[in-house]
Structure 1
């Protein structure tokens, strides 16, 4: 019985391999550009070779508005007013690490509050949401006033949290009307909390979201909400989809 089974299995595998080797191959007819080679960072959170490093723990030379912000142990500490990146970005990948103040003070929106603004207009909330209740679309990881995060994976105050953000900028027609909305994918501490979420517009506190035409690129800004939140290791990569040209009709060979 064992010999018969072994022979049968061997015969099936031989026929399968022979059939696959004789199969036609589908070709989509696209001639792809060669993807650029990007050397990754030496550690998981280190910036890759093509990243623009906005804050490396030493100075605020890449920011405007940081006159009252300070640096302690390589971390940026919120002062008075927003800081705004000198460089502007459209579609991009943004990495930010942040830590809520210790000892924790205040409750709700008054505890460890700040925010990351894409293009200076679209906020991903920063808040101490570790055992701190507030409205769900205003907690840490929320796209402010539009959607809560899919999960609360905040670390304790004083510990470091990590945002990895994939941003697709909105596009506008020549007449100022919306051509395509913004999208955001976000990982908080390695956990997916937004998966290609379609933004309804900007993220104000006191009115519904709306889109108003603006340029293809805009700055990254970080909010002062009167809490000494810390930030470190901020870097961004401009993102371009793989490109190719349809040089032939799809075919089998």
Structure 2
């Protein structure tokens, strides 16, 4: 089912073109990208398989998850190459055909990278296979994972539990995947407490972020804690609910920690006429205007000529190369990189800022001769400081705020 608004629509190759268009628009508005599709049927009949590949291509799907018959893989691999789409072999529990990772290895061997495994570690546990053993056996052949933790082992009735609890030792599985340098897709497949599973899904994601971040020094970590205890802000002026940070009136919010060279990744959503910003390397949060670099957030949707005040600008210093912000109500994606004197900004996949701070040698003046309001030359701005999110009297929302030290 696509959504509660379209209970009769089905996400499969038979979906009409007009429904696919609506789904693509829904995904874009939510800032979500399709990567995997399945488990779906692929047979040894090319005429049956082509519509599945056509659907995947149309929807931007990178991997089809299926359990094809063994005599179909040469034909399917030809389609993979033609469409530039991978196929990952899924394992249901015993007595399904591919429950044993040894068979998955046999049919995927010599067919990489087009044919690999979709390792369902929960179904392995139901089949009596230790997930860590399956992961080790399929090293180099895992395309994606249906990641799970169960409340029991070798029982088909076992149900999903929050990652890090139950059986399966998912922490050890993550460590082994890291050792293998796995760079594929993790899917949360939570088939328990269907109507009220979102809180558990959030706990799974929090466990993953914590454990994965600890495995690699300098890896991604949450910028803000769920209770905002690592932040400085006026009481009740910001709140975090279900992973979304929103301004509740008052003032800006700042990290207690200071950052120098980093990549900051976040999503934001604005309302009509919203004005906000992301402050970088702030030397003094009380005097942020003259000690912080501001990446502007503004409702600039629909404009054609970007200015130094538009969304994506280094405020009052450098205009973005284009207007890339989405219309109000849709989620936007910033990736901001600070490395020594360089500041780079990507908005919704579009590189819009490539700034060398060393070119801003005078206070109140940009390299092209235009004025700015800052008492300090940007060349002399702090290279280490707090990160802040601005409240400017308008509705603003943030989510998925991650940072990686470089």
The Cα shift of 1:118 comes to 0.7
Q: Deviations over 1:2-46 (max 9, x none)?
A: xxxxxxxxxxxxxxxxxxxxxxxxxxxxxxxxxx98876957xx9
Runs of at least 5 residues in structure 1 that lack an aligned partner in the other structure? 1-35, 105-110, 170-181, 240-253
- 1:219 equivalent to 2:377? Answer no
The alignment's C-alpha RMSD in Å is 3.2
- 1:192 equivalent to 2:351? Answer yes
The Cα shift of 1:112 comes to 0.9
Structure with more helix by fraction: 2
1:1-253 → structure 2 map (5 Å cutoff): 49=213, 50-55=219-224, 58-67=226-235, 68-78=237-247, 79-101=249-271, 104=272, 111-120=273-282, 121-131=292-302, 136-169=307-340, 182-195=341-354, 197-199=355-357, 200=360, 206-207=373-374, 209-211=376-378, 217-239=384-406
Q: Is the 8 A contact 2:275 2:299 kept in 1?
A: yes
Q: 1:158 to 1:73 in 2, by over 3 A?
A: farther
Structure with more strand by fraction: 1
Q: Is the 8 A contact 1:54 1:63 kept in 2?
A: no
The Cα shift of 1:61 comes to 1.9
Q: 1:81 to 1:194 in 2, by over 3 A?
A: same
SS of structure 2 residue aligned to 1:119: strand
Report the TM-score, using the length of structure 2 for normalisation. 0.40
Q: How many residues align?
A: 180
Report the TM-score, using the length of structure 1 for normalisation. 0.61
Q: Is the 8 A contact 1:89 1:219 kept in 2?
A: yes
Runs of at least 5 residues in structure 2 that lack an aligned partner in the other structure? 1-177, 187-207, 214-218, 283-291, 365-370
SS of structure 2 residue aligned to 1:138: coil
Name 1:24's counterpart in structure 2. Answer: none
Q: Is the 8 A contact 1:94 1:165 kept in 2?
A: yes
Deviating more after overlay: 211-220 vs 223-232: 211-220
Q: 4+ runs of 1 displaced by more than 6 Å? A: 36-41, 201-205
SS of structure 1 residue aligned to 2:266: strand
